[in-house]
Copies of this chain bind each other. A is one copy, B any other.
Amino acid sequence: MDAVFKALADATRRSFLDRLHVRDGQTLGELCDGVEITRSAVTKHLVILEHANLVSIVWVGREKHHYLNPIPITEIADRWIRKYERGRVRALADLKRRLETPEEDP
Protein backbone atom coordinates (compact mmCIF):
# COMPACT_ATOMS: atom_id res chain seq x y z
CA MET A 1 0.00 0.00 0.00
CA ASP A 2 2.79 2.40 0.89
CA ALA A 3 4.54 1.64 -2.40
CA VAL A 4 1.37 2.55 -4.29
CA PHE A 5 0.98 5.89 -2.49
CA LYS A 6 4.65 6.67 -3.06
CA ALA A 7 4.39 5.72 -6.73
CA LEU A 8 1.36 7.99 -7.16
CA ALA A 9 3.10 10.91 -5.45
CA ASP A 10 4.99 11.93 -8.60
CA ALA A 11 3.17 13.81 -11.36
CA THR A 12 5.36 12.31 -14.08
CA ARG A 13 4.47 8.80 -12.95
CA ARG A 14 0.77 9.66 -12.80
CA SER A 15 1.05 10.97 -16.35
CA PHE A 16 2.44 7.60 -17.45
CA LEU A 17 -0.55 5.86 -15.89
CA ASP A 18 -2.83 8.31 -17.70
CA ARG A 19 -1.12 7.62 -21.02
CA LEU A 20 -1.37 3.88 -20.51
CA HIS A 21 -5.01 4.34 -19.64
CA VAL A 22 -5.51 6.03 -23.01
CA ARG A 23 -3.49 3.41 -24.90
CA ASP A 24 -2.31 0.32 -23.08
CA GLY A 25 0.79 -1.72 -23.89
CA GLN A 26 3.11 1.10 -24.96
CA THR A 27 6.84 0.43 -25.15
CA LEU A 28 9.53 2.24 -23.20
CA GLY A 29 10.45 4.20 -26.32
CA GLU A 30 6.88 5.29 -26.89
CA LEU A 31 6.57 6.42 -23.29
CA CYS A 32 9.78 8.40 -23.66
CA ASP A 33 8.26 10.40 -26.51
CA GLY A 34 6.49 13.54 -25.38
CA VAL A 35 8.32 13.76 -22.07
CA GLU A 36 11.28 16.07 -21.45
CA ILE A 37 13.41 13.73 -19.38
CA THR A 38 15.92 11.11 -20.50
CA ARG A 39 15.21 7.44 -21.08
CA SER A 40 17.16 6.64 -17.90
CA ALA A 41 14.76 8.71 -15.83
CA VAL A 42 11.72 7.21 -17.57
CA THR A 43 13.00 3.71 -16.82
CA LYS A 44 13.38 4.57 -13.15
CA HIS A 45 9.82 5.88 -12.98
CA LEU A 46 8.47 2.77 -14.69
CA VAL A 47 10.38 0.49 -12.33
CA ILE A 48 8.72 2.26 -9.40
CA LEU A 49 5.30 1.81 -11.01
CA GLU A 50 6.15 -1.83 -11.68
CA HIS A 51 7.22 -2.48 -8.07
CA ALA A 52 3.96 -0.91 -6.88
CA ASN A 53 2.22 -3.42 -9.14
CA LEU A 54 0.58 -0.59 -11.04
CA VAL A 55 2.21 -1.58 -14.33
CA SER A 56 2.94 -5.03 -15.76
CA ILE A 57 5.68 -5.78 -18.28
CA VAL A 58 5.48 -7.99 -21.36
CA TRP A 59 8.60 -8.48 -23.46
CA VAL A 60 8.08 -8.80 -27.21
CA GLY A 61 11.48 -9.38 -28.76
CA ARG A 62 13.59 -6.42 -27.78
CA GLU A 63 10.54 -4.31 -26.97
CA LYS A 64 9.27 -3.86 -23.43
CA HIS A 65 5.53 -3.31 -23.38
CA HIS A 66 3.85 -1.72 -20.37
CA TYR A 67 0.33 -2.59 -19.28
CA LEU A 68 -1.70 -0.70 -16.73
CA ASN A 69 -2.92 -2.61 -13.68
CA PRO A 70 -5.55 -0.45 -11.98
CA ILE A 71 -6.28 -2.91 -9.17
CA PRO A 72 -3.98 -1.30 -6.59
CA ILE A 73 -5.69 2.03 -7.23
CA THR A 74 -9.07 0.41 -6.68
CA GLU A 75 -7.79 -1.18 -3.49
CA ILE A 76 -6.69 2.21 -2.19
CA ALA A 77 -10.13 3.54 -2.98
CA ASP A 78 -11.84 0.60 -1.28
CA ARG A 79 -9.71 0.23 1.82
CA TRP A 80 -8.54 3.74 2.55
CA ILE A 81 -10.30 6.54 0.74
CA ARG A 82 -13.92 5.51 1.23
CA LYS A 83 -13.39 5.63 4.98
CA TYR A 84 -13.19 9.40 4.68
CA GLU A 85 -16.30 9.69 2.59
CA ARG A 86 -19.17 10.31 4.99
CA GLY A 87 -22.65 11.61 4.21
CA ARG A 88 -22.49 15.34 4.77
CA VAL A 89 -18.83 15.57 3.85
CA ARG A 90 -19.47 13.79 0.58
CA ALA A 91 -22.37 16.13 -0.13
CA LEU A 92 -20.11 19.13 0.44
CA ALA A 93 -17.58 17.77 -2.02
CA ASP A 94 -20.30 17.27 -4.58
CA LEU A 95 -21.51 20.82 -4.05
CA LYS A 96 -17.99 22.18 -4.41
CA ARG A 97 -17.52 20.21 -7.59
CA ARG A 98 -20.77 21.52 -9.06
CA LEU A 99 -19.85 25.11 -8.26
CA GLU A 100 -16.48 24.83 -9.92
CA THR A 101 -16.04 25.30 -13.62
CA PRO A 102 -15.29 21.97 -15.25
CA GLU A 103 -11.55 21.76 -15.55
CA GLU A 104 -8.87 19.47 -16.92
CA ASP A 105 -7.15 16.88 -14.81
CA PRO A 106 -3.90 18.25 -13.38
| A73 at the binding interface (Cβ < 8 Å) | yes
Can you offer 27 A-B residue contacts whose CB atoms are under 8 A?
A: A2-B11, A5-B8, A5-B9, A8-B9, A9-B9, A17-B84, A21-B87, A68-B84, A68-B87, A70-B84, A70-B85, A70-B88, A70-B89, A71-B88, A71-B89, A74-B81, A74-B84, A74-B85, A74-B88, A75-B93, A75-B97, A76-B81, A77-B77, A78-B93, A79-B105, A80-B105, A81-B81
CB distance from A58 to the nearest CB of B (A): 16
How many chain A residues sit at the interface, stated as a range, is 35 or more
| A62 at the binding interface (Cβ < 8 Å) | no
- Per assembly, the copies of the chain total 2
